[in-house]
């Protein structure tokens, strides 16, 4: 057992009396989150959402629903000119049946641009991206809590010296037109909050620090120019092989809050790609990082929402073929709160305890600062 795993096991055994008391009452993660003015939820795919165990877990715990893929441009517009919202409508109907808030994901992302649009002229691309955004946002107007407007626009490891990602979006839409995405979204649904979302800013590694700086550099001029961006979405695909510092994360949250932004955790999971030991030891290590991260987030008044990317270790994108790094021993990863049968793991107890014991409420006033 390494130090983190040992710490995890110790922390969990220390809270076992409280854990036992807490276990008496049926727990809903969203109900616990609401006690501090926040929301808790999951990204779902129609392939799993209406089947056991995911359906029952969503009924019990979800106060927010996001479509994992169903609202991506590539998914809706598989052929030029045709639009198919069947899956998007299904996920929206599920959220309505659960009375859950909806996070729309995502209006502009280089990975969800239909492949046939990578070869068109800039004028054609701008027309197509504008039409897609307006059609999608208008279709669900008034029913979306937050839209991820622009996703993953930074990339700090490029040799070109820029911290902006070189992609189909930067080339054909244009970096200088990124603010226009937010303006179009605001015009199509004035009620929805609008988010810039990105990954790799949550942990304590030099490349995470570079990404935090790059995001602040991107957002600062927008905030000064009153671009309608309300929310910073931190994806939070955490990894046990990276260090974590609550102090550094919270300093970043302070900087975002000073911009007048609220913070949403949008795609939380914890990869255990390199941890060794028994399943119980691996689960303790995953739980310890969940606890450190969620405790830190909930101690900050600008954090308003927490969404997990998928529900159980059976439906997580991480264990699907070809979707992420594999473990050297070939075993599936255990990155969610629930095992493959939908049973709560130590990570569930850790997150429930964090939510239950948080003393800091989400500060709604922060929403009006922009």
Which residue carries 């550094």 as its tokens?
Answer: 248
In whole angstroms, the minimum distance from the beta carbon of 267 to ligand 9MR comes to 5
Cβ count within 10 A of residue 138: 12
Whether 262 contacts 366, CB under 8 Å:
yes
In whole angstroms, the minimum distance from the beta carbon of 113 to ligand 9MR comes to 10
Cα 260 to chain centroid, rounded: 20
In whole angstroms, the minimum distance from the beta carbon of 20 to ligand 9MR comes to 35
In whole angstroms, the minimum distance from the beta carbon of 318 to ligand 9MR comes to 8
Q: 149, 79, 96, 80: which is closest to 88 by C-alpha? A: 96
The residue (of 267 and 339) whose beta carbon lies closer to ligand 9MR is: 267
Residue 67 is encoded by which pair of tokens?
Answer: 């479509």
Distance linking the first and last C-alpha atoms of the chain? 47
Transcribe 280-291 into DSSP letters.
Answer: HHHHHHHHHHHH
Pairing of strands 237-239, 231-234: unpaired
In whole angstroms, the minimum distance from the beta carbon of 72 to ligand 9MR comes to 6
In whole angstroms, the minimum distance from the beta carbon of 87 to ligand 9MR comes to 12
Whether 201 contacts 211, CB under 8 Å:
yes
Long-range contacts of 24-31 (CB under 8 A, 24+ apart): 26/60, 27/352, 28/60, 28/61, 29/61, 29/351, 29/352, 29/355, 30/61, 30/62, 30/63, 30/64, 30/100, 31/63
The residue (of 4 and 72) whose beta carbon lies closer to ligand 9MR is: 72
Residues engaged in binding ligand 9MR (CB under 6 A): 68-69, 72, 111-112, 151, 235, 267, 317, 323
The residue (of 301 and 335) whose beta carbon lies closer to ligand 9MR is: 335
In whole angstroms, the minimum distance from the beta carbon of 306 to ligand 9MR comes to 16
The residue (of 12 and 54) whose beta carbon lies closer to ligand 9MR is: 54
Closest residue to ligand 9MR, judged by C-beta, is: 317
């Amino acid at each position: 057992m390494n130090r983190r795993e040992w710490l995890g096991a110790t922390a969990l055994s220390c809270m076992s009396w409280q854990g036992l008391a807490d276990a008496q009452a049926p727990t809903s993660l969203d109900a616990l989150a609401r006690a501090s003015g926040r929301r808790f939820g999951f990204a779902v795919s129609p392939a799993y959402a209406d089947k056991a165990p995911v359906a029952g877990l969503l009924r019990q715990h979800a106060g927010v629903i996001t479509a994992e893929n169903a609202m991506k441009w590539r998914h809706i517009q598989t052929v030029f000119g045709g639009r198919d919202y069947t899956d998007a409508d299904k996920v929206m109907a599920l959220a309505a049946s659960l009375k859950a808030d909806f996070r729309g994901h995502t209006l502009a992302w280089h990975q969800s641009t239909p492949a046939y649009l990578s070869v068109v002229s800039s004028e054609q691309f701008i027309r197509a991206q504008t039409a897609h955004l307006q059609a999608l946002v208008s279709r669900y107007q008034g029913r979306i809590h937050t839209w991820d407007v622009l996703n993953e626009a930074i990339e700090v490891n490029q040799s070109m010296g820029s911290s902006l990602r070189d992609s189909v979006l930067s080339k054909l839409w244009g970096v200088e037109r990124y603010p226009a995405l937010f303006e179009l979204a605001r015009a199509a649904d004035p009620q929805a909050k609008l988010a810039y979302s990105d990954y790799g800013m949550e942990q304590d590694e030099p490349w995470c620090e570079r990404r935090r700086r790059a995001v602040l550099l991107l957002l600062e001029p927008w905030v000064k120019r009153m671009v309608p961006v309300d929310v910073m979405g931190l994806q939070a695909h955490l990894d046990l092989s990276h260090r974590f510092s609550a102090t550094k994360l919270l300093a970043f949250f302070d900087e975002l809050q000073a911009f007048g932004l609220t913070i949403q955790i949008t795609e939380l999971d914890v990869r255990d790609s390199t941890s060794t030991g028994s399943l119980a030891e691996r689960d303790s290590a995953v739980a310890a990082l969940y606890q450190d991260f969620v405790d830190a987030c909930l101690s900050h008044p600008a954090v308003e929402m927490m969404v997990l990317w998928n529900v159980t270790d059976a439906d997580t994108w991480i264990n699907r073929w070809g979707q992420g790094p594999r473990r050297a021993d070939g075993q599936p990863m255990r990155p969610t709160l629930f095992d493959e049968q939908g049973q709560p793991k130590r990570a569930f107890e850790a997150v429930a305890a964090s939510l239950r014991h948080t003393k800091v409420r989400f500060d709604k006033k922060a929403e009006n600062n922009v």
